[in-house]
Amino acid sequence: MKNYDSCKDINSYYFENYLPLSIAMPGFYSADTDEGSAILEIKALIDRQEYSNAVSLAETYLLKFPHAQDALLAWQIYGYWLQGNIPNEAFIDYFQTLEEFLPQEAFLNFNKGFLYTKSKKFNEAVKELEIAYSKNSSFVPTVILLFWIYYLSGDPQWKKLFVYVENSKIIQDQQVRLIKVIESIETKKETSLYVSADSDPKKSITELLYKFPSLIIEKEPTEENILFVAAETKYFRTFVTTFLLSGRELEIRNFGIHVHLYHPSPADVELLKKYDRAYPELKLSYSTEQSSTSFDTQNANYYSSMRFCRAYEILEKSEAVKKISVVDADSLIRANPYGDKNIINSTVLLTGTPEASPGWDRFAGGFVSFSKTKNSLQAFEYFVNIVLKNISKDNAFWFMDQIALLDMYQEFSASGDISTLPGDYIFGKNLQHEAGSLFWTYTNDSKIGDNAVNRERNRLFNAHGLKD
């Protein structure tokens, strides 16, 4: 049997971030009956996350409608579970009891599968979900959950569900596209969605770069080791400034920082120069590019991918730079990355995530490092060639840089020159902003609000007084 427990380390996003993925509770009674109306009242409270009120109301209706005890008790227990007062295992046992009386109801097996998933018991989850699917193959939550477990664990059975998943629009179009792109890489088939590198990547890069805005070196790098960040005006003002200030607080710095600005205003360049004058110990260098009429160079997909191409140009052209590490602009430096032997001794270093992750999450774009060696430059050229080709064909899409890293890894990993470090090693376990991390960065939903990164950013701004 396939070991689906390989999904334990997967980001729970794929199992929890869909509205249909919750316990499936039956109405038991039609809405036009007194009992049905009572259940709808309880459901409304649960939908508003008023779980204590829902449990109390269920207790009231248990006394009023003793003949509907099974239905109302089910909803009361559901409310207790949502409060966190009933463990998953006890709730599973409860649905097992219901199944004895309702053996043909697929939702009961789905519920057990869902709860096993919440407890990260994926082998047990699949057993229940497959039973649910055999009872009702069109129940959307079952199809979604079973599809993702199959896909993320590498079980080829995902393919039998994919046509339904795609046609019924039950997962995001972006994810459908990503799945198709990963398949094209695995099978080495070029599609209109994604094109891989040319046979002579370096020659192709030279030809393609003429189509893009020119890289303007405002100040040449002087250090062998470089941290590279890129940003447009908003990200530069909001995040890169505190990235620089966080680097200043390190006791030992054996690296410089290179900032690349997408179509900056004169004020942006002046602010960067102000930081350079104020903090020469950062060993700043910087470059710019202006908007192009040929491509949409003011969109997030361009920013997230083109930064690697600019880093390649810096590494390839600079006489000083021997190693360049591309870092997310919305990070904070917490420790000297070039003081880490795994990083300083690497040829190509990728930030890896579990093998069971989807291909677009296998390697993160948050920290990628290349050295100025023959093999490293060849891998870098292959990667950059993919990015430039896809942007030039209007194929830029979210995660394109990470998919290109996967493509590069598959092409060059046999050489032994590519090393990987887990995301926990670079950014701290589960991005929890712990002491000892090399960098702090954001999760998808934490760029606003009160959290450790924003508190630290505010402290840096206040301590240095250089927000504007």
pLDDT digits (tens, 9 = 90+) for 114-136: 999 999 999 999 999 999 999 99
Q: What is the mean pLDDT of residues 334-363?
A: 92
Q: What is the mean pLDDT of residues 417-430?
A: 87
What is the C-alpha separation between 336 and 247, in angstroms, rounded?
Answer: 8
Question: Which residues have CB under 8 Å from 89's CB, separation 6+?
Answer: 119
Q: 164: which 2 tokens?
A: 């339904």
In DSSP terms, 261 is beta-bridged to 231, 288
4-158 falls under which CATH superfamily? Answer: Tetratricopeptide repeat domain (1.25.40.10)
What is the C-alpha separation between 94 and 337, in angstroms, rounded?
Answer: 51
Determine the pLDDT at residue 363: 94
In DSSP terms, 352 is beta-bridged to 363, 422
Determine the pLDDT at residue 430: 63
pLDDT of residue 8 exceeding 50, the answer is yes
What is the C-alpha separation between 301 and 180, in angstroms, rounded?
Answer: 18
Q: 123: which 2 tokens?
A: 């082998």
Cα 374 to Cα 367, 380, 384, 387: the distances in Å are 21, 10, 15, 20
DSSP string, 168-219: TT-S-HHHHHHHHHHHHHHTT--BTTB----SSHHHHHHHHHTTSPPPEEEE
Query: Where do the domains of the chain lie?
Result: 4-158, 201-464
| 440 membership: H or E segment, kind and range | strand 439-440
**Which residue in this structure is represented by tokens 């629009």?**
169
pTM assigned to the model: 0.87
Mapped onto helix, strand or coil, the DSSP state of residue 262 is strand
Radius of gyration of the chain from Cα atoms?
26
What is the C-alpha separation between 392 and 251, in angstroms, rounded?
Answer: 43
Q: Tens digits of per-residue pLDDT, 399-417?
A: 999 999 999 999 999 988 9
pLDDT of residue 468 exceeding 50, the answer is no
Strand 348-352 relative to strand 418-422: parallel, antiparallel, unpaired? parallel
pLDDT band at 467 (very low <50, low <70, confident <90, very high): low
pLDDT band at 267 (very low <50, low <70, confident <90, very high): very high
Q: What is the mean pLDDT of residues 433-448?
A: 74
What is the identity of the amino acid at 104? Answer: Q
Q: Are 447 and 330 in contact (CB under 8 A)?
A: yes
Q: Of the candidates 423, 426, 249, which has an alpha carbon nearest to the alpha carbon of residue 340?
A: 426
What is the C-alpha separation between 405 and 357, in angstroms, rounded?
Answer: 14
Share of residues in the chain with pLDDT > 70 (%): 96
pLDDT of residue 340 exceeding 90, the answer is yes
Determine the pLDDT at residue 443: 65
Q: Tens digits of per-residue pLDDT, 233-251?
A: 999 999 999 999 999 989 8
User: Under CATH, what is the fold of the domain 201-464?
Assistant: Spore Coat Polysaccharide Biosynthesis Protein SpsA; Chain A (3.90.550)
